[in-house]
Structure 1
């Protein structure tokens, strides 16, 4: 999801989303969403993609 979509869903400001994302990246050593996604897959936090269409 985009930061704007996350903010809307959680009813928080986009600045708060950005702050949380920055803190998360620092904690897991990620440089961006791709690194964070790879980390989540590696740690088993999300299922492996099946190659099917995205919802």
Structure 2
């Protein structure tokens, strides 16, 4: 399902940007929210992995 959401966003994005440059932000935001919704089961693992990387933030 997430591949379909990403595919639709990537298909619409070039046309929307050509028509109006500020159109990319809402499209990308909607795609990110849709991907987060479809992959919500795996977000717990991602959050735990991201929490383990916080000490490395100052090094970046």
TM-score, normalised with respect to structure 2: 0.35
Of Structure 1 and Structure 2, which has the larger fraction of its residues in helix? 2
Higher relative contact order (CA 8 A, sep 6+): 2
Task: State which structure, 1 or 2, has the greater radius of gyration over its C-alpha atoms.
Answer: 2
